[in-house]
Structure 1
Amino acid sequence: MNSIHKLTRKAALAVGAAAILSLPLKSQAADGWLVDFEKAKAQAAKEGKSILMEFTGSDWCPPCIQLEKNVLSQEAFKTGAPKNFILLKLDSPRDKSKQTPEEIEQYKVLSKQYAVQGVPTIFLTDAKGKPYWQTVGYSGDPADKYVANLNAQLATLAKRDAAFAKAEKAKGAEKAKHLAEGLSLVSNELALNTYSDEVAEIIKLDADNKAGLKAKFEGLKNSVEFKSELEAAMRSGGADPKGVLAAIDKLIDEKKPTGEALQEALFYKGSIYFRDDKAKAKAALLEAQKLAPNSDTGQRINDILDRFFKEE
């Protein structure tokens, strides 16, 4: 697997996002790709197709360049993918001379909205831009296999739609359960950012928390907000590791996070300690792992412990 280039992640959307996305953009990129999100949604609705959104760094990101060379520029993709998908390229190149200011700003807005953490990231969404599948990086698959995998994900859309259809016919907690089933197909942060209406309805329908969904989704909201504050705290600490650690400790003391949110903070502390104090790093990572061993961060911690602390 090629390495994934990290991008800054923030959970909150930029103020004025809707206004930015309504500004005129050139609509067409090369080989049938659109670059205007609104036009892609309109075309998808007209043709009854999904949208394939590629977030890329076309002139600096090695896996992006390999994906373009081995898949996106190949005939198998150019003829196969458009049968079911409207193609939308969202590029953040170093050389922005060929992009309009609106296109550049659109990338900033959408990368936040879709919680993009690295490129290349591919999303499959419905005609309204609601995502139902994503993949990060490039595995090395040839174009024909890549297209076949994309087409297979249409079954995920069908599952989501089936769950939402059941929700339409249900009431109360039962409706909330079906909505939650549909949202389970995407990541928590993506659900909060792109299915906000559904999340709000789930919380409202399970107001007494008898189904456990109100607590779950309110907890997810708090977790995402904490992660955003955590990133801000880390930036406020500057380049001094002690300053960053102090900022993280202050945030933990003020917000008193639990579960995956606290796990994330302790993981960052462990990463900082790792440079100079392996014992403290291991202690922080072990404490973090216990909080949510099966989470994505928990799995990353397992890998780190096995790789760097196995002999201790």
Structure 2
Amino acid sequence: MLFSLRAATLSLAGIVALVAPAVASEGWIADFDEAVKIAKAEKKDLFVDFTGSDWCGWCKKLDAEVFSHEQFLTAAKKSFVLVALDFPRDEAIKAKVPNPKRNDELSKKYNIEGFPTLLLMTADGEVFGQMGYMPGGPEAFVPAMDELVKTGKKELSDAKVLVEAFTQAEGDAKLAAWDKLAEGLEGAKEGSVAAKLYVASIRAAMEFDKDNKGGRKLRAVKLLLKSGNGDDATFAAGRELDPKNENGLLELCVKAQFNSVRDDDGAKAALTALDALAAAGPIKDKAVAFDLHVTAAYWCSQFLNDSDRAKKYAAKAKEIGTDDARALEFLDSILNG
């Protein structure tokens, strides 16, 4: 997700509103490896909460609104061993974390990029679902969790079958098996954890269809970019195949570049890419266009101290339009500042 006004303002609101450290409800295990042993012995799955108990506003809201309620605990414990992996900042709280080094290893293994991140996984560590904060308390959270257990495990199973069929096939049958894989990834829901199983096999088309004669290289690049699984080779291929954004690949490359920004230099490079995209032609996806420009305006106004450029991007974002009143208010604050 782009670091848009929406995400920024909500994050700040959560942090300001909740300043006291969150304490996990009883029944949570802080040692992942110990939880695995229990899950295997009890034939249960793992519900793993990656949290920042003393600083993460949304983690505190989730604990207060969902995890501390008996309705959630009763439902979750039927199928899961509950695991809380904490990443606190206060030294006194850090000292209570059983194995911070192991927590760091797990954070890297599962590519945790924000808190709270909730992973539903088997006792063998195979992830079949991912959740985060959602409003509505346990009344909303528990049904969503139950549904994810059903759909997530089925998607994982289906993906394994398709990947195995592609791996074993040869000749024309392998191309047909790849097409089935592509259909599977196209049909995966946004944020589907099982989608990651498709990636290596989908990427293979960039080699066996190097010249895009069968159209599979282009299809592969689009799928990888849309699913958030692009890498440098994918970005290069996208720019090569669609330099004028006629197929919407170039805008997906720029969106991925925005998502990867971690510092000022990265932001400047992403803004240059956005300018080149705008010069190539209209951005096809209105939502992508708006998010790119409002994010660009935010970066320029808050981090890069470039008010003229911020106003340029803000004006373009308003021209594209949105139903988000708070985003429009933010854009007006830049334009009138």
Trace 1:111-122 onto structure 2 (pairs within 5 A).
111-122=107-118
- Tell me the equivalent position of 1:161: 156
Q: Return the match for 1:74 from 69, 73, 76.
A: 69
Trace 1:128-207 onto structure 2 (pairs within 5 A).
128-141=124-137, 143-164=138-159, 166-167=161-162, 168-169=164-165, 171=169, 172-180=174-182, 181=184, 184-185=188-189, 187=191, 195=196, 198-204=198-204, 207=208
- Contact 2:128–2:194 under 8 Å retained in 1: no
Q: Deviations over 1:214-242 (max 9, x none)?
A: 3235542245984586314x2x59xxxxx
Q: Percent identity?
A: 25
| Matched AA of 2:145 | L
Q: Return the match for 2:262 from 231, 246, 258.
A: 231
Q: Which has the larger radius of gyration?
A: 2
C-alpha distance in 1 between matches for 2:157 and 2:134: 30
Q: Does 1:280 align with 2:291?
A: no
Q: Deviations over 1:152-183 (max 9, x none)?
A: 21222144135325414464244445545258
Q: Report 1 or 2 for greater relative contact order, CA contacts < 8 Å, sequence distance ≥ 6.
A: 1
Trace 1:1-312 onto structure 2 (pairs within 5 A).
3-4=10-11, 31-41=26-36, 43-44=38-39, 47-93=42-88, 94=90, 95-100=93-98, 103-141=99-137, 143-164=138-159, 166-167=161-162, 168-169=164-165, 171=169, 172-180=174-182, 181=184, 184-185=188-189, 187=191, 195=196, 198-204=198-204, 207-208=208-209, 210-211=215-216, 212-216=218-222, 219=225, 220-221=230-231, 222=235, 226=257, 230-232=261-263, 234=264, 245=268, 268-274=295-301, 280-284=309-313, 304-305=327-328, 308-309=331-332
C-alpha distance in 2 between matches for 1:106 and 1:165: 28
Helix, strand or coil at the partner of 1:118: coil
- Contact 1:132–1:186 under 8 Å retained in 2: no
Shift of residue 139, structure 1, vs aligned partner: 1.2
Q: 1:76 to 1:218 in 2, by over 3 A?
A: closer
| Matched AA of 1:270 | A
- Tell me the equivalent position of 1:15: none
Structure 1: 5+ residue stretches without partners: 7-28, 238-243
Helix, strand or coil at the partner of 1:31: coil
Q: TM-score, normalised by structure 1?
A: 0.62
Q: TM-score, normalised by structure 2?
A: 0.58
| Matched AA of 2:327 | I
C-alpha distance in 2 between matches for 1:42 and 1:174: 41
- Contact 1:54–1:120 under 8 Å retained in 2: yes
RMSD between aligned residues:
4.8
Q: Deviations over 1:249-286 (max 9, x none)?
A: 67889xxxx98999987655421333566663253357
| Matched AA of 2:191 | S
Helix, strand or coil at the partner of 1:58: coil
- Tell me the equivalent position of 1:241: none
C-alpha distance in 2 between matches for 1:105 and 1:127: 20
C-alpha distance in 2 between matches for 1:5 and 1:118: 14
Structure 2: 5+ residue stretches without partners: 1-6, 14-23, 236-252
C-alpha distance in 1 between matches for 2:256 and 2:36: 29
